[in-house]
Structure 1
Amino acid sequence: MALPPLHGFRVFESVARLGNVGAAAAELHVTPGAVSQQIRALQTALGVDLFQKRGRQLALTASGTQLQRSVASAMEAIHTGVRQVSTHRNNEATKRVLTISIPQVHGVAWLATRLFTFMAESPNFQLNVVTSSHFHGVDWRKVDVAIVYGVPPWPGFWWRLLHGIRMTPVCSPQLLRGPNAIRQASDLAHHRLLHEDDGSQWRRWQAEAGIAYTGEADVYFDDFGIVLQAARDGFGVALSDEVVSARDLDEGRLVQPLQLSVPALHNYYCICVEAKRETDDVNDFIRWLIDEAAAG
């Protein structure tokens, strides 16, 4: 059989729930006559009586009770769907989207877990994360906030020092054993030095240590992640900081054979375009980031 008009089921559900035509009419903002007409039309279409009078109240017949269960379930499903759509729409409307650029090694070592904490505490933020270590590698057309490894100034940008780092030698524990074990600075002459720059950082460290810089067997990389992996594998000695190498040091993949540390030639900065600095989303994220850096 053809399905009766759906509006009739809505009227039926209201009368069945309230047990009174007048009450249903008030709820639906129509006249009692209109309610009675809809009920009669529904009963005629179905060919069964749905109600029987009991004084001033209407009681469901067996057929009415059966239909009421199905209609009530359907109405609840509709209400649930409407609530879900409305909630999704509101969430989408209030979702705050930021694109963050982070150095690959620093991001994995220090920031990644903190970003997950930030997202858990700020579910209305959606973070898109890209990687670039240096200022000129950041696509500022897309990026809202970046952590860069470098030296200011950067005209047209706002920046804040995130970590003032110091560099110290790190190596595999295996380099602490054997005839060329590293026990003092002069022992580095027996080992390959690993660089991510032109050697400037190591020259600064060796000048502080009072030893000559040779660099004859050194290896130069443009990716600090490769530098650290080579050090973990025992291929040489790298200069790193405790922010990036904290996990390797804690878990014993790297050790600090010598305690002398020197200020880094470059540092980690939080940076954004000046025009974006005072926008609420960027300001909120930067404030959280600086607080995390201060907490260690």
Structure 2
Amino acid sequence: MLAPRRFLPSIASLRALEALDRLGSATAVAEELNQTQSAVSRQLQALETQLGTALIIRDRKKMRLTPAAQDYVTEVRAALQKIAQASVKLQVNPEGGSLNLAILPTFGMRWLVPRLADFARLHPEVTINMATRLERFNFAQEPFDAAIHYGKPDWPGTGYLRLLDEQVLPVCAPGLIAGETIAHPRDLLSFPLLQIQTRPYAWGQWFASYGVQAQGITGTLYDQFSTITQVAIHGLGIALLPDYLAQPELQSGRLVAAYGTATRSLGSYYLIWPQEKSRNKSLRLFRDWLAGQVELEDGLPR
């Protein structure tokens, strides 16, 4: 059951308040909402009357929100965003069955996307919309139902499914180590070590797994594995790549292992979703399908 009408202001008045918080003047609000300034003022006054509290400090021609109104509009903005997201999903797929998914760019393109044809064959009624995100985000403020995440399943208020553990391997162009003797992991310290933004401690962890204390590792920094792979192929340094990403380049001969075999990193890949979305039918279908893909993956030699 919804709250009483007096606690449910009109969308128009809430949009006016939200815009005033961002823009700082009724004139700017009127321009953004394509209304007259007097119409905006009436909506704001009606909102104050309905809620029975002052929301706006009016100082001559300037208007600003009270501290309480600023807290209020933060929640209102999130609610308006959710309404907009629901409307877009309905418009894109009026029959229902869409899933908005945030993916890590390289993992999404190299591991997930090649498998999606199977999901589409099994569940043609579900449309999956994907966008890339490298950093964590707030589900309440982003238009996503779920996300592919690397690290640990420690997002508050979420459920998760482990997809696979990450195994990494130091790789480089053949010419970079031609004629060099690499008998121990510490020998790699004499080469440029390429760094990935999302794994700032990856090299330190890799050396530590071999008992090497490597302090102050430096090297050029990149934001995506696709970029760092190309940099390694062109002989600019050694990259620590996930094995699923390195394997095609190793098979083609464009990259070679700089030392050893793939080793377990400290993070894993997960599907993460807000608890309130747990019963979403499209999410359940996708999650169950992914679980089957993970079982197949775990049965393969690595």
TM-score interval, normalised by the smaller of the two chains = 0.5 to 0.7
Deviation at residue 249 of structure 1 after TM alignment: 2.8
Kindly indicate whether the alpha-carbon contact (under 8 Å) linking 1:175 and 1:181 is maintained by their aligned counterparts in 2: no
Report the CA distance between 1:176 and its aligned residue: 3.8
For structure 1, the 5+ residue unaligned runs are 1-91
Look up the match of 1:135.
136
Kept in 2: contact 1:109–1:246 (CA 8 A): no
Deviates more, 1:211-220 or 1:163-172: 211-220
Instruction: Give the deviation of 1:153 after TM superposition.
Output: 1.2
Is the contact made by 1:169 and 1:239 (CA closer than 8 Å) also made in structure 2?
yes
| Cα distance in 1 for residues equivalent to 2:239 and 2:167 | 13
Aligned counterparts, 1:187-266, within 5 A = 187-197=187-197, 199-213=200-214, 215=216, 218-266=219-267
Report 1:4-23 matches (<5 A).
none
How far is 1:152 from its partner?
Answer: 2.7
Deviates more, 1:119-128 or 1:270-279: 119-128
Q: Give, in whole Å, the separation in 2 of the partners of 1:139 and 1:97.
A: 18
Greater mean alpha carbon deviation, residues 273-282 or residues 262-271: 262-271
Aligned equivalents of 1:221, 1:190: Cα separation in 2: 20
Question: Retained in 1: the 8 A contact 2:163–2:271?
Answer: yes
Partners of 1:107 and 1:116 in 2: how far apart?
Answer: 14
8 Å Cα contact 1:175/1:182 also seen in 2: no
- CA–CA distance in 2 between the matches of 1:223 and 1:279? 31
Task: Name the CA distance, whole Å, in 1 between partners of 2:287 and 2:128.
Answer: 13
Contact 1:176 1:183 in 2 (8 A): no
Distance 1:226 1:139, change over 3 A: farther
Residue of structure 1 in register with 2:286 after alignment? 285
**Residue pair 1:145, 1:272 contacting (<8 A) in 2 also:** yes
After superposition, residues 46-195 of structure 1 pair within 5 angstroms as 94-136=95-137, 141-178=142-179, 180=180, 182=182, 184-195=184-195
Q: Which range moves more in the overlay, 192-201 or 121-130?
A: 192-201
CA distance in 2, matches of 1:289, 1:133: 21
Deviation at 1:122, TM superposition (A): 2.2
1:112 positional shift: 1.2
- Cα-Cα RMSD: 2.5
Q: CA offsets, 1:94-128, max 9 Å, x none?
A: 45211111100111111111123322332222121
Decide whether aligned partners of structure 1 residues 278 and 261 sit closer, same or farther in structure 2, where only a CA change above 3 A counts: same
Distance 2:107 2:216 in 1: 26
Write the letter of the residue equivalent to 1:246.
Answer: Q
- The unaligned stretches of length 5 or more in structure 2 are 1-92, 298-302
SS of residue paired to 2:101? strand
Secondary structure in 1 aligned to 2:150? Answer: strand
Larger Rg: 1
SS at match of 1:161: strand
Amino acid at match of 1:106: F
Question: CA 1:252/1:290 → structure 2, altered by over 3 Å: closer, same or farther?
Answer: farther
Q: Could you give the per-residue CA deviations for residues 260-289 of structure 1, whole angstroms, max 9, x where no partner exists?
A: 544323221111111111222110101111
Distance 1:249 1:187 in 2: 21
CA distance in 2, matches of 1:116, 1:140: 30
CA spacing shift, 1:237–1:152, aligned 2, 3 Å = same
Aligned counterparts of 2:109 and 2:140: Cα–Cα separation in 1: 20
| Aligned-partner SS, 1:115 | helix
Contact 2:170/2:257 (8 A) holds in 1: yes
CA distance in 1, matches of 2:138, 2:230: 23
Structure 1's 184 and 251: CA in aligned 2 closer, same or farther, altered over 3 A? same
% identity of equivalent residues: 28
Distance 1:217 1:210 in 2: 19
Q: 1: distance between equivalents of 2:109 and 2:182?
A: 29
Task: Tell me what 2:85 maps to.
Answer: none
State the 1:188 CA deviation. 0.9
Matched residue pairs, number? 204
| SS of residue matched to 1:253 | coil
Q: TM-score, normalised by structure 1?
A: 0.61
